[in-house]
Amino acid sequence: MAHEAAGAAIASLRRYKLTLATAESCTGGLVAKLVTDVAGSSEVFSGGVVSYSNGVKMKLLGVSEKTLAAHGAVSEETAREMALGARDATGADIAVSTTGIAGPSGGTAEKPVGTVCFGVASKFGVRTFTKHFGEELSRKEIRNAAADFALELVAGECERYGD
């Protein structure tokens, strides 16, 4: 599942001669791991940041303290700034970010367990998404689904370069 998504993302990155960076919170480096599991990924993968704490989000990725205070770490606004920060820090063509609640605890009525926000930044700007993977999934299943979706976003962003 996720490995297929990584292969597709890398194929798209290669096709358009693009590079990728990651900014991950709830996935804890899983997106980067899946990318680097694919032979030859060094041609397209610039690097990534696992920013579990808000301090690291601010210091390494440039996420605004105001954004975190107003919207929280699990928000499209934070995902947007994480993706932009990763792209700026690495010089990659595309950056993807993940921030969410993988559980089993930590959810709220507004943001239940299984909520993950994504950002994808490129020369076309930043797009953000929120997915609710479901409270019935395990932590591992939520993280895997989030990584898979992030890689699908990367492949989709690459295709915009072909339009």
pLDDT at 135 over 90: no
CA-to-CA distance for 56 and 131, rounded, in angstroms?
23
Neighbours of 12 (CB within 10 A): 22
| Domain at 2-160: CATH code | 3.90.950.20
Classify 138 as helix, strand or coil.
Answer: coil
pLDDT at 2 over 90: no
| Segment 14-35, tens digit of pLDDT | 999 999 999 999 999 999 999 9
| Segment 82-122, tens digit of pLDDT | 999 999 999 999 999 999 999 989 999 899 999 999 999 99
Residue showing tokens 């990318």: 35
**pLDDT average, residue stretch 55-80:** 98
**pLDDT average, residue stretch 64-77:** 98
3-state helix, strand, coil in the chain (%, to 5): 45, 20, 35
Sequence ranges of the domains in the chain: 2-160
Share of the chain above pLDDT 90, in %: 93
Check: CB of residue 158 under 8 Å from CB of residue 18: yes
